Chain A
Amino acid sequence: MKKKVKTKELELTIPILPNIELLVGKVVSELARHMKLDQNEEDEVKMATIEACLNAFEHSKSKEGKVYLKFQIANDELMVVVRDSGVGFNPEELNPPPIEEMLSGKRKRGWGLKIIENLVDSVEIHSEKGKGTTVIIRKRKKG
């Protein structure tokens, strides 16, 4: 018989406002502490979530000016879903510039998703032009 996994969930809708991503960061920190993630794991998932929110704020061009978040804890894993109803994009077209290009002043941005990928265990991106983007981040407890 399969053991039923207990999940804990929290949903949050945030308006696009300056520094509101810090509130999201605080939620992530609380959940990370509840899961007893170590300080580095907490910092990593917090920074990744903040970055996912910023991507939604900056690039979604969402008319409703909101971002929807869902947090779920199950089996020592924290899942964060960041969803917007903006313009959408093709993740394959993203190409973060190398440091040399950034230093020469040509293009300094475009690293958001790469940063997220390197800080968490997995990232899923579902995006449809004109309909919006959903980013799903997963961070597992290692210790």
Chain B
Amino acid sequence: MKEEELKVTVRKEDNYAVISTEGYINNLGGEKIAKECYQLMDEGVKNFILNLAQSRVINSIGISILIEIIEKVLEVKGNISFCALTPTIAKTFRIMGLTQYAKVFATEEEAIKAITG
């Protein structure tokens, strides 16, 4: 797993998009995720799944950018969820209260199921 530069992959489906990350989520990494999310929002996407399976480290600046994304998604009455978090990242999100506004799922399949029913 390469840590230096965050790799972001986007998969757009009918009524949701999955954004997968690989590497360190710092300020630049966070901005990369935000750029993809905001572009998808402009295209009308309201439901987002952030799959962080390949990211073991996130810093507080990266988290603050994720909070901005949550804020924007909530503004358009959309949904955002995280999946495949390491226990350390899940714990950090819980402590900071992110899980009150964004659901956390163990797997991407579970997160998709919560949207598609």
A: which residues have CB within 8 A of B? 19, 21-22, 25, 40, 43-44, 46-47, 50-51, 54, 96, 98-99, 102-105, 108-109, 111-112, 114-115, 118-119
Task: For residue B106, give the distance in angstroms from its CB to the closest CB of chain A.
Answer: 15
Name 23 interchain pairs, CB-CB below 8 A, sorted by A. Answer: A19-B24, A19-B26, A21-B59, A25-B3, A40-B86, A40-B88, A43-B86, A43-B87, A47-B57, A47-B58, A47-B59, A47-B88, A50-B59, A54-B59, A96-B96, A99-B96, A102-B67, A103-B101, A105-B68, A108-B64, A108-B67, A114-B95, A119-B92
B: which residues have CB within 8 A of A? 3-4, 24, 26, 56-61, 63-64, 67-68, 70-71, 74, 86-88, 91-92, 95-98, 100-101
Task: For residue B87, give the distance in angstroms from its CB to the closest CB of chain A.
Answer: 5
Complex: A96 Cα to B24 Cα, angstroms:
23
Q: Which residues of A contact B101 (CB under 8 A)?
A: 99, 103
In the bound complex, do residue A22 and residue B88 qualify as a contact, i.e. CB atoms below 8 Å apart? Answer: no
Q: Which residues of B contact A51 (CB under 8 A)?
A: 59-60
In the bound complex, do residue B95 and residue A118 qualify as a contact, i.e. CB atoms below 8 Å apart? Answer: yes
Closest to A19 in B: B4
| Shortest beta-carbon contacts, A-B, top 3 | A99-B97, A43-B88, A108-B64
Complex: A21 Cα to B88 Cα, angstroms:
18
In the bound complex, do residue A46 and residue B95 qualify as a contact, i.e. CB atoms below 8 Å apart? Answer: no
A-B contact count (CB 8 A): 76
Task: For residue A44, give the distance in angstroms from its CB to the closest CB of chain B.
Answer: 5
Q: Which residues of A contact B96 (CB under 8 A)?
A: 96, 99, 102, 111, 114-115
Complex: A118 Cα to B90 Cα, angstroms:
12
In the bound complex, do residue A44 and residue B88 qualify as a contact, i.e. CB atoms below 8 Å apart? Answer: yes
Complex: A103 Cα to B58 Cα, angstroms:
19
Q: Which of B4, B60, B67, B87 meets A112, CB within 8 Å?
A: B60
